Amino acid sequence: MTDTVESGSRSRTRRAILDAAVVVFSQRRTASLGDVAAEAGVARSTLHRYFADRAELVHALAADVLVAVEKTIDDSALDQGTPREALHRLAAGYFELGPRIFFLYNEPSFNAPEPDERVKGFFQKLEASGKPIEALIERGHREGVFATSLSADWIIRMFWWMVYIGWEAVDEGALPRLSAPATILQTIEHGILAPGSSS
């Protein structure tokens, strides 16, 4: 077997394990590595050749989220079209990341009162990756699309949490997956008041 073929096989196996971990951990936070291995279709011994323990797998998932977030932001082309159109593209992309984000935000080690350095580093990198979103909000402010009474920081926080609670509602069966992105955008753009409501 050539190095290239072996490398490709390892990459596919690693990807399968990461994808399986998202599915399993988002359903049951206390799931075992054996459960992940079963979902990935590999032996537990194979999983351990890639990730020594649960903590290592979780941090690999976090690194994978960072790559996915950066790609989603790039693919959303936030500097093209109107700010509203760009926001719609971003919302659709972020919603697809929902299960990964949903898992991490419920992962105990990522919500500890005193997180370790790797967790701190994750959130620092996640914040840094959002610079193009800040630029989009600022453009929306300048063009009169986004309310200038709401800071970029507040809008980004609201955006993140709307995506999060959208996936939470889907996970709990309270919101159909297909209608969730539109519901998220409607809530962000119009709140809870009926169109044309004046009282």
What confidence score (pLDDT) does residue 87 get?
Answer: 95
180 contacts 169 by C-beta, under 8 angstroms: yes
- Interatomic CA distance for residues 104 and 111, integer angstroms: 9
Polymer length in residues for the chain: 199
User: Tens of pLDDT along the chain (199 residues)?
Assistant: 454 444 678 889 999 999 999 889 888 878 899 999 999 999 999 999 999 999 999 999 999 999 999 999 999 999 999 999 999 999 999 998 887 887 787 788 887 788 889 889 998 998 899 999 999 999 999 999 999 999 999 999 999 889 889 988 998 999 999 999 999 999 999 888 777 665 5
What confidence score (pLDDT) does residue 2 get?
Answer: 52
51 contacts 94 by C-beta, under 8 angstroms: no
Domains of the chain with bracketed CATH = 1-52 (1.10.10), 58-190 (1.10.357.10)
Q: Is the dihedral of CA 14, 16, 18, 24 positive or negative?
A: negative
What confidence score (pLDDT) does residue 10 get?
Answer: 85
- Interatomic CA distance for residues 158 and 145, integer angstroms: 16
